[in-house]
Homo-oligomer: A and B are copies of this chain.
Amino acid sequence: MYRTHTCGELNINHAGKNVTLSGWVQKSRGLGGMTFVDLRDRYGITQLVFNMEKDGELCRKARKLGREYVIQITGNVAERSNKNLKLPTGEIEILVDTLHVLNSSEVPPFTIETETDGGDELRMKYRYLDLRRQVIRKNLELRHRMAMEIRNYLSGENFIEVETPVLIKSTPEGARDFVVPSRMNPGQFYALPQSPQTFKQLLMVAGFDKYFQIVKCFRDEDLRADRQPEFTQIDCEMSFVDRDNLLDAFEGLSNHLFRSIMGVEINDKYPRMPYDEALRKFGSDKPDTRFGMEIKDLKEHTEGKGFQVFDSAEYVSGIVATGCADYSRKQLDELTDYVKKPQIGTRGLVYVKYNEAGTFKSSVDKFYSPDDLQKWADAMGAAPGDLMLILAGETESTRKALGELRLEMGRKLNLMDPKAYRPLWVVDFPLLEWDEETNRYYAMHHPFTRPYEEDLELFDSDPGKVRAKAYDLVINGVEIGGGSIRIHNEDLQQKMFDNLGFTREEAAKQFGFLMGAFRYGAPPHGGIAFGFDRWVALFAGLDSIRDTIAFPKNNAGRDVMIDSPSSIAEEQLEELFLEVKKEELKKIETRTSGRKQ
């Protein structure tokens, strides 16, 4: 028996009890003839006391303990004279009788504390030590509690969790697949799922009615800051629902998580904002609605005054930064630099200060009179003391830039209360997206998304205008999930593939099984998938999903702890009838290393 109690369990009610504890040495300190050791496990920290006078040998043994040694002790629970009321165990200590070293430890490469001196690279290499830090472990505990709440809630709502296969089939649509060579079917490959999309639709055809799964998905993408090659989805699908039934059902899940995990009661129904409106008002399809500062159109008020930049621009709009009329030259320059960053990509920023005195000062005073600027202020709802910030250019990109500027101002003015949660649904996404490079339409969501019936006639005349029954759940500017009502009849699915430029043969080869399934009584259905890592990050207050994952990969897709991926034995490749093209690889490597020198 290694322990009678954990290190987080003992309190004043246990005083006088003989106990056995096991755990890690967090730290130890001598004080006169006494040695104090903080013993740590997942559940807490308990103070151990060794007394030189009482047992010199034992105390000397205790003094030799290093940080992170694993020890087992027996002793008696005693009330502390010097209580620490911040700890649940802070009223007691253990007067130790026996000490047994279960395992020693080298000095860890970084301190196992909430504030550590370990850099990212080192933390990832020794992730098993990093995970000992309470601040990281708490994220994983939160993740577990969220998964439990999600499963219990959905199961209570009659959803069945069904495991769909991991070894599936590669499809060129969407992101790049990871593939898995098959030894039993040499020359052929499985693919790892980017999502269980087709399987959950087949489960609806199978009459499962309500499905969910918390499931690993895979994308072989060049990893940007906050992407992982394997990530986790809360994947859901329902039959016999229209869009609003479905949104209501998952508002229920979201509200349950807010309530049970965060103790936050969301009383209002989530706004359902059309995609067009989100872009128009917030310059983003994932608006952060914790603050207003909506985008206002100024095009009609700016024309014909000789300012070429505005006159020639397709789009002229601005936002009002309340109470910022006193911004300095330096502050305004910073904002200009911000919008000119390559990621934002505008050519410049026009500002108008609406001074407290009612006068105007702007960067376009040469072209616009105070009366003109008053009209702008009226159109934008600006008041004396406010600062108007205006961008102009091509509609889509400028609107997005203005959305970014809005967020930047929100951050500067502390308008994003981290304790406030403003969930909303963005709805009515376009069905198709034009790609200039390949000169064709792509499905904005995926090829199984149902268009609005009333937009079907646009399919031939103006496909880009066809709206989809698609929706995203957005919380505080973060896209937490997305989904759609699906196509459930073969004809419409075929038409969709036609519009996406699939030949009939390609469509049949890749998705024939789904089209076939639609012939045997497919019910109307729809679904949604939430990014579980991201939802955990949101609730944990993390910017990145990485620390919601026990063993994440770095930006090169590597696990630096286990050193993977790695080369494999030649025999493994032979069994798979595969050859690594070493010559071509060498060329690449030479080129790369050449560049480095």
Residue positions of A touching B, CB distance < 8 A = 1-3, 6, 22, 24, 40-43, 68-70, 102-106, 108, 126-132, 137, 140-141, 143-144, 147-148, 151-152, 155, 160-170, 172, 176-192, 198-199, 202-203, 205-209, 216, 218, 220, 222-223, 229-230, 232, 240-242, 245, 488-489, 512-513, 517-524, 549-551, 553, 556-559, 561-569, 572, 575-582, 584-585, 588
Rounded to whole Å, the gap between the CB of A49 and the closest CB of chain B is 21
A-B pairs with lowest CB-CB distance, top 10? A105-B521, A131-B206, A169-B564, A2-B240, A188-B565, A68-B521, A182-B565, A42-B209, A128-B202, A128-B206
* Residues in B neighbouring A563, C-beta threshold 8 A: 169, 512-513
A241 to chain B, nearest CB (A): 7
Residues in B with CB closer than 8 Å to A523 are 22, 24, 70, 102-103
User: Are B1's CB and A242's CB within 8 A?
Assistant: yes
Known contacts A178-B180, A241-B2, A521-B24; decide if A561 and B208 are in contact (CB<8 Å). no
Can you offer 10 A-B residue contacts whose CB atoms are under 8 A?
A24-B523, A70-B523, A105-B520, A128-B520, A131-B207, A148-B151, A187-B585, A190-B564, A216-B216, A579-B581
Asked whether, in the complex, the Cβ of A209 is within 8 Å of the Cβ of B167, the reply is: no
A206 to chain B, nearest CB (A): 4
Partner of A105, one of B104, B245, B519, B558: B519
> With contacts A147-B161, A160-B144 known, is A1 near B245, CB below 8 A?
yes
Besides A68-B520, A148-B152, 18 more A-B contacts (Cβ < 8 Å) are: A22-B523, A24-B521, A131-B203, A143-B163, A162-B550, A165-B553, A176-B183, A179-B181, A180-B565, A184-B222, A184-B556, A185-B557, A185-B558, A188-B566, A199-B551, A203-B550, A513-B562, A578-B581
Contact B567 A188 (CB under 8 A): yes
Which residue of the partner chain, among B186, B206, B521, contacts A69 with CB atoms under 8 Å? B521
Q: Which chain B residues border A520 with CB–CB below 8 Å?
A: 68, 105-106, 108, 126, 128-129
| CB <8 Å contact, A170 and B572 | yes
Verify B521–A137 contact, CB threshold 8 A.
Answer: no
* Minimum C-beta distance from A358 to chain B (A): 56
| B residues less than 8 Å from A188 (CB atoms) | 565-567
Q: Tell me which residues across on chain B come within 8 A of A69, comparing CB atoms.
A: 521
CB distance from A10 to the nearest CB of B (A): 16
Contact (Cβ within 8 A) A168 B524: no
CB distance from A124 to the nearest CB of B (A): 12
CA–CA, A97 and B568, complex, Å? 67
Q: How far is the CB of A487 from chain B (nearest CB, A)?
A: 11
**Which residues of chain B are within 8 angstroms of A567 by Cβ–Cβ distance?**
187-189
A131 touches B208 (CB 8 A): yes
Whole-angstrom distance between the Cβ of A158 and the nearest chain B Cβ: 8
Cα A563 to Cα B513 in complex, Å, equals 8
Q: How far is the CB of A353 from chain B (nearest CB, A)?
A: 49
A556 nearest in chain B by CB position = B184
Residues of B within 8 A of A561 (CB): 202, 513
Instruction: Let me know if A180 and B182 touch, CB within 8 A.
Output: no
Q: Are B170 and A568 in contact (CB under 8 A)?
A: yes
Q: Which of B129, B177, B207, B582 contacts A206 (CB 8 A)?
A: B129
Which listed residue (B6, B222, B521, B551) contacts A104, Cβ 8 A? B521
Instruction: Please judge, given known A-B contacts A132-B207, A240-B3, A523-B103, whether A551 and B147 are in contact too, CB under 8 Å.
Output: no
With A43-B209, A568-B189 in contact, is A559–B170 under 8 Å at CB?
no
Q: Which residues of B contact A103 (CB under 8 A)?
A: 488-489, 518, 521-524
Compute how far the CA of A182 lies from the CA of B556 in the bound complex, rounded to whole angstroms: 10
Complex: chain B residue closest to A517, CB-CB? B128
Provide the bound-state CA to CA distance between A218 and B216, in Å. 14
Q: Knowing A161-B144, A557-B182 are in contact, say whether A580-B582 is a contact too (CB < 8 A).
A: no
Q: In the complex, A458→B513 CA distance in Å?
A: 59
Q: Is the CB of A207 within 8 A of B42?
A: yes
Residue of B nearest to A102 (CB): B524
Nearest B residue (CB) for A145? B155
User: Which chain B residue lies CB-closest to A168?
Assistant: B564
Q: Once bound together, how far apart are the Cα atoms of A131 and B209, in whole Å?
A: 12
Query: In this complex, which of A241, A551, A565, A588 has the most chain B Cβ atoms within 10 angstroms of its Cβ?
Result: A565
Contact indicator A170/B566 (Cβ below 8 Å):
yes
B183 touches A180 (CB 8 A): no
Would you call A551 and B164 a contact (CB within 8 A)? yes
Residue of B nearest to A25 (CB): B521
Q: In the complex, are the beta carbons of A162 and B144 less than 8 A apart?
A: yes
Q: Which residue of B lies closest to A205 (CB)?
A: B128
What is the chain B residue whose CB lies nearest that of A42? B209
In the assembled complex, the CB of A107 is this many whole angstroms from the nearest CB of chain B, namely 9
Residues in chain B near residue A580, CB distance under 8 A = 186-187, 577-579
CA distance A169 to B513 in the complex (A): 33
